[in-house]
Structure 1
Amino acid sequence: MMKIVQCVPNFSEGRDLEKVEEIVSVLKNKEGFKLVSYEPDKDYNRTVVTLLGNPNDIIEALIPFTKKCLDLIDMNHQTGEHSRMGAIDVIPFIPIQDTTMDECVEYANTVAKKINEEFSIPIFMYAEAANIKARVKLPNIRKGEFEGMKEKIKLEKWYPDYGNAEIHPTFGVIGVGARIPLIAYNIDLDTENTKRTGFIARTIRFSSGGYRFIQAGPVFLESRGHTQVTMNILDYTKNPIYRVLEAVKMEARRYNINVPSCELVGLIPKTALLKTIKYYFQVEGRDFNEDMSLEEITKYSIEYIGFRDFDKSKIIEANI
């Protein structure tokens, strides 16, 4: 069986689509891996790239990809709704097929070393690849963002894992890690009130007393004219989509706010969708079939979860 990893580099440009296209051009039509998707968002000013395939081929392609980001993005002039600390903010590796987490940690360290040696960009290792406990959680590293990192990196406790204790002046720093599949999931709220959206986000966010494995916050999407509870579900086996969706709907009712739709950024494991579809089938007293097709899973995900801009290609198993 062939080794397959998912790699999800996020870079800090989502408005200038010509730049986005030039950056991702070095990842297209390559041997050994597939560029599954790239999703620019002008409100977040960020593009999420999803790669799937042979880890060594992905690692080699990330070097010219980094060079493109270095040439085209100056973080001194970059703003957006999403927190960020570098022109490439993160590069996580996720085991998918015939690959262990320990191997993904090795891949993460290999690419971190290569990028630092080639471009003198400092690297912080996070999640399963973290060397220091305080760096397991990405928000701990990213706190202060690009602007604050200029001084933060000089503190001994925040020396980078690779490189000198000084940010690259235009690029910043990168977080490189290894993790289980994370679900980047956003719930649309039919309101422009970010304060109320923030109250709702706090009820589900673990750090403020909500659900474990949930990171969440409010954001206003100017292009769509409404807010979102934007979140990462770090372990969908412990807290599935339906639980956070129903909690947000319940909290939104107290403010008479509708929840019209949801958004998925990147890919999602089939089992994560089946877990939530099963819940709604049970609510309605319907017979549930674990072996439903990807087409059926897509249909019911749109029906019950309310995904917009969603199709079969967003499911990991459809791309293997």
Structure 2
Amino acid sequence: MSEANPIVECVPNFSEGADSRKVEAIVSAMRVDGVHLLDWSLDPDHNRSVVTIAGPPSAVIESAVRGAGKAAELIDLTVQQGVHPRIGAADVIPFVPISGIKLDQCALLARQAGMEIWRRFGVPVYFYEAAASRPDRSNLEDVRKGQFEGLRDVVRKDSSRRPDVGGPTLHATAGASAVGARKFLVAYNIFLNTSDVAIARAIAKDIRASAGGLKGVKALGVLVHGRAQLTMNITDFEVTPISRVHARVTALAARHKTALAEGEIIGLVPNAACEHNSDWMGQLGHFDPATKILERRLENPLPWPNGAR
């Protein structure tokens, strides 16, 4: 694809993973001519859904903004709970360069989308990573510190935590959205053969970049259906291949007298990140290359759902 026909990806994360009707309505609202639906999934354990779309920049912006608006209509964070950190109904909306477009251009798209989300729906916005307007908002973890409940209270007292667009307070039920631009991120989870979540948290602390671990790795230890899980975002698989993450987790698990069970990829993974015949790919459950590898899904996108609520 040439620069005359740029393709951008967007991966909105919504704070609803239990009610399939709501998620289907959100995804359906995102249907815009020219935009391909590549993946959408519900995670009831984390109470979160992830949608992946791709297409021309202006159409993708419109699709993402519509999704944020429908999420604000259907998701009430005052009654929503989940183990995954969140500050908004449409929690994070990252724009990712695919072809014919650069990261700094995606940052401009993020700024446009953020302004529209506030203008149309009254949901304030924080800009993060490559779209950040302040250095202290480059890291999503810093933006989401305190989650919805904590941020809702602190913005009333601390002007430094107020949104970049809109506000100064959060939307009463939809919170705020973090809109950004980043490189391709691989969302990778590993279950451990233990119910001791303290082990998962200890391993997460050892491997996450912010604690001096592996570069470009964000990690949390959580309990899912009574099993300890490492939930990770690998933000630069070229610098830190997934096989290196897997090897490090394997060694740390052994140190804690446990082992790895199965792994899972949330959303899509680019072919360049796949290491065929590797240990980590061998432990993936239900991994279908035709539906999970980005390049293949671009050639054969999903049909849009017709959900309405």
2:188 corresponds to which of 166, 185, 189: 185
Task: Using the aligned pairs only, state the percent identity.
Answer: 39
- For residues 226 and 306 of structure 1, the distance between their equivalents in structure 2, rounded to whole angstroms, comes to 16
Query: Hey, what's the Cα distance between the residues in 2 that align with 1:54 and 1:72?
Result: 27
Q: How does 1:83-232 map to 2 (within 5 A)?
A: 83-154=85-156, 155-222=158-225, 225-232=226-233
1:73 Cα deviation after fit: 0.6
Can you list the C-alpha shifts for 1:228-268, whole angstroms capped at 9, x where unaligned?
A: 11111111111110111011111111233221211111111
2:57 aligned to which of 55, 58, 76: 55
Q: In the TM superposition, what are the counterparts of 1:224-303 in structure 2 within 5 Å? A: 225-273=226-274, 277=275, 297=276, 300=277
1:306 counterpart = 2:286: no
C-alpha contact 2:208 2:214 (8 A) present in aligned 1: yes
Q: CA deviation at 1:31?
A: 2.0
Give the letter aligned to residue 130 of structure 2: E
Q: In the aligned structure 2, how far is the partner of 1:196 from the partner of 1:39? A: 27
Deviations 1:141-164 (A, max 9, x none): 001000011122232212211102
Q: Distance in 1 between matches of 2:56 and 2:282?
A: 32
Distance in 1 (CA, whole Å) between partners of 2:9 and 2:229 is 26
- Is 2:53–2:60's contact at 8 Å kept on the other side of the alignment? yes
Partner of 2:69: 67
Query: Shift of the alpha carbon at 1:207?
Result: 2.1
User: Contact 2:170–2:176 at 8 Å: present in 1 too?
Assistant: yes
For 2:209 and 2:288, the matched residues in 1 are separated by 30
Checking the alignment, whether the CA contact within 8 Å between 2:40 and 2:50 is kept in structure 1 is yes
Q: Note closer, same or farther for the CA distance 1:21–1:301 as it changes in structure 2 (3 Å cut).
A: farther
Q: Indicate the residue corresponding to 1:12 in structure 2.
A: 15
Query: Structure 1 stretches (4+) deviating beyond 6 angstroms?
Result: none
Structure 1: distance between partners of 2:181 and 2:264:
24
Post-superposition offset of 1:304: 4.2
Unpaired segments of 5 or more residues in structure 2?
299-309
* Contact 1:185–1:232 under 8 Å retained in 2: yes
The residue type equivalent to 2:287 in the other structure is F
Q: Give the residue type in structure 2 aligned to 1:202.
A: K
Does the aligned pair in 2 maintain the 1:11–1:88 contact within 8 Å?
yes
Which residue number corresponds to residue 33 of structure 1?
35
Partners of 1:20 and 1:179 in 2: how far apart? Answer: 24
CA contact (8 A) 1:187 1:228 kept: yes
TM (norm. structure 1) is 0.88
Shift of 1:301: 5.8
Secondary structure of 2:203's aligned partner:
helix
2: CA distance, partners of 1:8 / 1:301: 26
Could you tell me how far apart the structure 2 residues matched to 1:87 and 1:267 are?
22
Question: How high is the TM-score relative to the length of structure 2?
Answer: 0.91
What letter corresponds to residue 183 of structure 2 in structure 1? I
Task: Give the Cα–Cα distance (whole angstroms) in 1 for the partners of residues 285 and 30 of structure 2.
Answer: 26
Q: What is the deviation of 1:302?
A: 7.9
Aligned to 1:162, the other structure's residue is in SS state: coil
Contact 2:243/2:278 (8 A) holds in 1: no
CA distance in 1, matches of 2:241, 2:65: 35
Which deviates further from its counterpart, 52-61 or 148-157? 148-157
Higher RCO structure (Cα 8 Å, ≥6 apart): 2
Name the CA distance, whole Å, in 2 between partners of 1:129 and 1:6. Answer: 15
Residue of structure 2 in register with 1:286 after alignment: none
The size of the alignment, in residue pairs, is: 293
The answer as to whether partners of 1:73 and 1:87 remain within 8 angstroms in 2 is yes
- Does residue 318 (structure 1) correspond to residue 288 (structure 2)? The answer is no
Unmatched runs of 5 consecutive residues or more in structure 1: 278-296
Q: Distance in 2 between matches of 1:247 and 1:305?
A: 16
Return 86-95 or 146-155, whichever deviates more. 146-155
* Residues 242 and 305 in structure 1, CA contact (< 8 A), matched pair in contact too: no
